[in-house]
Structure 1
Amino acid sequence: MSLSNPSQVLLRNSELLIAKSPLLINLPEDGFIDAYVDIHKPDSISCFNTNFIDYQAIIKKHGSSSNKNNVQTTFASTYQTDTCHDLVIITFPKSKAELNFTLAIIAHCIDETTKILLVGEKKGGIQSAEKLTQNILSCCQKVDAARHCMLFVGLFEPEKLSVVFNLQDWFKKYHIVVEGIELTIASLPGVFSQQKLDVGTSLLLSNLPDKIVGKVLDFGCGAGVISCFIGKKFNEANLSLLDVSALALTSAKESLALNNLAGNVFPSNSLSDVNEHYHHVVSNPPFHQGVKTHYQASEDFLAGINQKLNKQGNITIVANSFLRYQPIMEAHIGNTRVITKEKGFTIYQAQLSSK
């Protein structure tokens, strides 16, 4: 795999990367780790990823407990360690609110001598890094701009951020009422539709099957809105929720708990870790990866979900009306109906053809 543009920008500023125990936050596995080790030979490298796809790629490349580069990898919504890192490299997140959350979760394992590097593509909003971190970092300044990317460096100011991290402080909680059903939703920074019910999901909830019984899969669950609604409306539903984001999964668990519901919440790269079969699949499938529009994951999901449906199983999704999902569903699942088209969104429902 060729080095991404942000990784190339990092490596051309090699003098900033000298460290004994660096922490890499949400960096992809693109060859950067190997290049870094060859140049600087740190004692160990810690990788913290909230994206399951990136985590899996790093595990696949460096996952052995006896790996020569001593790479330690974590997939979670928060980071815990006894190590004091002397360098932290952060991929600038899509959600600006997520940046300060990320700095808060590492406050316990850095000090005033720790270099903080922020790297990202210009179109991802990294130009605002200095302003966003002015109450947490000192001397945050741009040190490079190349390949449509920017690199900032700063130092941590311990007195500006408590080293005692409380996850509950970071949940945005809001109440919604859909078809007379009241729900409380909790969402961490960076999770889709963090502060209110989005239009597409609202339309989906009003156009679900009349009866939902048995195993239900909520694909790309986000903060768990769909599952919470189904769990409240259909008492005989057995909920499973998956997402690629650790922040989403933690949010979904919190939302379920707030609504006195239970469900199996787990990470998956599309259908990679789906091991059961379901009577119903419901989704507002994501089509963004980072700052880029990316349809392949959703198309792969629609093409493969037939293998995860029970006989006579069905799937109901909402999608932007410009997305041509109906032919894919017809080809791989079976008869696909357009339930409604409103406000730029379309609801599709497909019934599994006889196997």
Structure 2
Amino acid sequence: MSDDHYFSADPAVPFTRESFPVDVWGHSLELVSGSGVFSRGHLDHATAMLLRELEPPVQGQFLDLGCGYGVIGLAIARAVPLATVTGVDVNERALLLANENARALGLGSRFVAALPDQIPTDMTFDEIWSNPPIRIGKEALHELLLTWLPRLRPEGRAVMVVGKFLGADSLQRWLTEQGWPTTRLASHKGFRVLETRRG
């Protein structure tokens, strides 16, 4: 397995960085991505749809679940002055880039990215935003969601973008069956935006 495999990208190993601009909610973000990180050098179609279809939140504590190099969480932090955002990922190189991007954008005081076991167990969130790692497999994805959804505060919600052909509709049904009522907010070019609320 190479060092560039998504789940083993070592931040200590030299790697190629690639920057690109992203315009979200009227703000321009210059982001740096890198080899061994999802969607290097461009904004992937699913995340672009999520950010295009939803308005920015108003305020609160947010979780960017599977944050990668930070695009969703940093977009929220830039557009919402009263937001604090925690990014979580298992890819340490992605976390390195996310925190570097936050500092470069002047958002380091309101965005921090960390490994799952570095997030305090009592930390809760008003909203969870995610382009979840569907390709880790159904069982692992279900475990991931059932780990983090209980961190939602009362009246909180999670919004996710999932490919229709990667199981968006079955995931919507499964979440509802697990006591997490989930509805479809938008559908476009094979992707669904799902909203999950506390049951």
Q: State TM-score, norm by structure 1.
A: 0.50
Correspondence 1:286 to 2:129: no
| Corresponding residue number in structure 1 for 2:114 | 266
Larger Rg: 1
Change (3 A) 1:212 1:327: farther
Q: Which residue number corresponds to residue 159 of structure 2?
A: 316
The residue identity in structure 2 corresponding to 1:242 is: V
Note if 1:214 corresponds to 2:57.
no
Is 1:241 the counterpart of 2:96? The answer is no
Counterparts of 1:39-50 in structure 2, within 5 Å, are: none
Q: Hey, what's the Cα distance between the residues in 1 that align with 2:22 and 2:184?
A: 26
AA partner of residue 77 (structure 1): P
Output aligned runs, 1:213-232, within 5 Å.
213-232=59-78
Deviation, structure 1 residue 179? 3.3
Change beyond 3 A, Cα 1:307–1:179 = closer
Cα distance, 1:273–1:333 mapped onto 2, change above 3 Å: farther
Alignment match of 1:298 (pick from 128, 141, 146): 141
Match of 1:328 in 2: 174
The structure 2 residue matched to 1:193, chosen from 39, 51, 56, is 39
Distance 1:50 1:193 in 2: 11
Match of 1:77 among 11, 27, 32: 11
CA distance in 2, matches of 1:325, 1:213: 28
Secondary structure in structure 2 of the residue aligned to 1:305: helix
Q: 2 CA distance for matches of 1:77 and 1:308? A: 28
User: 1:181–1:232: 8 Å Cα contact kept in structure 2?
Assistant: yes
Partner of 2:99: 253
Letter in 2 for 1:295: K
Cα deviation, residue 237, structure 1: 1.0
Letter in 2 for 1:264: V
The higher-RCO structure (CA 8 Å, 6+ apart) is 2
Q: 5+ residue gaps in structure 2? A: none
Cα distance in structure 2, aligned partners of 1:194 and 1:333: 36
C-alpha deviation, 1:257, in angstroms: 1.7
Helix, strand or coil at the partner of 2:53: coil
Q: TM-score, normalised by structure 2?
A: 0.85
Q: State the shift of 1:273 in Å.
A: 4.9
State how far apart, in whole Å, the 2-side matches of 1:256 and 1:319 are.
25
Specify the code of the residue in structure 1 equivalent to 2:190.
Answer: G
Q: Counterparts of 2:180 and 2:6 in 1: how far apart (Å)?
A: 35
Q: Decide whether aligned partners of structure 1 residues 350 and 301 sit closer, same or farther in structure 2, where only a CA change above 3 A counts.
A: same
Q: SS where residue 133 of structure 2 aligns?
A: coil
* 3-state DSSP of counterpart to 1:304: helix
Q: Could you tell me whether the CA contact under 8 Å between 1:212 and 1:280 is conserved in 2?
A: no
Aligned residues, how many? 192
Q: CA deviation at 1:274?
A: 5.6
Q: Does 1:350 align with 2:196?
A: yes
Among the aligned pairs, what percent are the same residue? 24
| CA gap 1:196/1:256 in 2 versus in 1, 3 angstroms | same
Whole-Å Cα distance in 2 between the matches of residues 273 and 211 of structure 1? Answer: 22
- Contact 2:6 / 2:38 at 8 angstroms: preserved in 1? no
Aligned partner of residue 49 in structure 2, secondary structure: helix
CA distance in 2 between partners of 1:287 and 1:281 (Å): 16
* d(CA) in 2 for partners of 1:295, 1:190: 22
Contact 2:6 2:36 in 1 (8 A): no
SS class of match (2:174) = helix
Letter in 2 for 1:282: W
| Number of the residue aligned with 1:202 | 48
In structure 2, C-alpha distance between the alignment counterparts of 1:177 and 1:296, rounded to whole Å? 34
Note the aligned Cα RMSD (angstroms).
2.5
Secondary structure at the aligned position of 2:161 is classed as strand
Alpha-carbon distance in 1 for matches of 2:51, 2:43 = 11
1:325 partner amino acid:
L
